[in-house]
Copies of this chain bind each other. A is one copy, B any other.
């Protein structure tokens, strides 16, 4: 067996600092597994990381392989491993070590120890993970599809299911058609909910309807909040996946039903949120930050996709060498997920 592999290494902010390099294949220690990576999927966070350095360790001791989400096959196991054996297909967890429940970290130092920075990430032909940091891949999804669940899929699941207790007949609004939004669409439909997709692109709205969305609102053609009122007979939305953030939160606050929930996820509109007080005081709106989710939820998400037979939406796949093109695609705005075929 060869002892070297390719990996993408980011040595600082900016694409100039991103290189495809040769590296040693790592060796699994106690309770660790060596995974031959098949595919890795991109999230908006990865773009921020590469382009702005946001989330990079400071100082950066050694170049980091970006990306947190992977599918692959266990090719070697370290001493004491009990969760997996050789040849098992696995996917990664986004927040290593968060198994269930409340998790860890303090008010001053919250946990942000994720794969893909500060920990070595998925864009490498091989990766070593603690056995607790992986779960079995869905048996009904191929490697490319499987690689999309760890962050975007789990974020939507945590927002709607683990925290939101979504139920049939409820009204869900997703903003845009990126990874989290399309997972939100699928997961909401899985639970019998009514889904309204807001986008500035009629073609994307048409694709969302093909996937089962009940309504599409073109936010460039009408005020989307008013449209939600119209489509729901003034009731509003029980759940909103706020993937834009910033000052856009104000619109979501207005669109929310009495007692409804906004899952705060995205920072496209910036790192400072703002909005009116009135929806809090008169509608008892809940705004909850979603930090991807824990391993138990990821296992439930895998089971849900395996049972329902729904297929995650992959907009495009790129070869390992073409990671920069994949980043460009992400920047243009995908419909669903973008995946790099690693192995």
* Chain A contact residues, CB within 8 Å of chain B: 30, 99-112, 161, 165-169, 187, 190-194, 214, 228-229, 232-237, 245-246, 254-260, 264-265, 267, 270-291, 294, 296, 300-301, 303-308
In contact, B291 and A284 (Cβ under 8 angstroms): yes
Q: Residue A102 contacts which of B187, B234, B258, B285 (CB distance < 8 angstroms)?
A: B258
Q: Residue A304 contacts which of B169, B233, B283 (CB distance < 8 angstroms)?
A: B169
| Distance to closest chain B CB from A276 (angstroms) | 6
Q: Residue A282 contacts which of B111, B275, B283 (CB distance < 8 angstroms)?
A: B111
**What B residues does A255 contact at CB under 8 A?**
107
Once A107-B232, A110-B282, A168-B308 are accepted as A-B contacts, the answer to whether A274 and B273 lie under 8 Å apart by CB is yes
User: A100–B296 Cα gap in the complex (Å)?
Assistant: 11
3 smallest CB-CB distances across A and B, nearest first, come from: A107-B236, A100-B101, A280-B289
Once A107-B256, A234-B107, A258-B103 are accepted as A-B contacts, the answer to whether A273 and B283 lie under 8 Å apart by CB is no
Once A106-B235, A257-B106, A258-B105 are accepted as A-B contacts, the answer to whether A264 and B277 lie under 8 Å apart by CB is yes
| Distance to closest chain B CB from A154 (angstroms) | 13
Residue from A108, A112, A214 with most neighbouring chain B CB atoms (10 Å): A108
Once A167-B161, A308-B168 are accepted as A-B contacts, the answer to whether A282 and B105 lie under 8 Å apart by CB is yes
- The 12 listed contacts between A and B (C-beta, < 8 Å) are A99-B100, A101-B294, A107-B234, A168-B304, A169-B301, A192-B308, A245-B277, A264-B281, A272-B274, A273-B276, A280-B287, A280-B289
In contact, B169 and A300 (Cβ under 8 angstroms): yes
How often does this chain occur in the complex, in copies? 4
Residue of B whose beta carbon sits closest to that of A191: B191
**What B residues does A103 contact at CB under 8 A?**
100, 258-259
Residue of B whose beta carbon sits closest to that of A258: B105
In contact, A168 and B194 (Cβ under 8 angstroms): no
| Distance to closest chain B CB from A268 (angstroms) | 11
Once A190-B192, A194-B307 are accepted as A-B contacts, the answer to whether A288 and B284 lie under 8 Å apart by CB is yes
User: A246–B277 Cα gap in the complex (Å)?
Assistant: 8
In contact, A102 and B296 (Cβ under 8 angstroms): yes
User: A161–B167 Cα gap in the complex (Å)?
Assistant: 7
Q: Residue A100 contacts which of B100, B168, B214, B271 (CB distance < 8 angstroms)?
A: B100
**What B residues does A233 contact at CB under 8 A?**
106
In contact, B294 and A289 (Cβ under 8 angstroms): no
| Distance to closest chain B CB from A252 (angstroms) | 11
Q: Residue A187 contacts which of B108, B168, B306, B308 (CB distance < 8 angstroms)?
A: B168
User: A229–B106 Cα gap in the complex (Å)?
Assistant: 9
Residue from A107, A165, A256, A305 with most neighbouring chain B CB atoms (10 Å): A107
In contact, B191 and A167 (Cβ under 8 angstroms): yes
User: A281–B284 Cα gap in the complex (Å)?
Assistant: 21
User: A271–B165 Cα gap in the complex (Å)?
Assistant: 30
Q: Residue A104 contacts which of B102, B190, B228, B258 (CB distance < 8 angstroms)?
A: B258
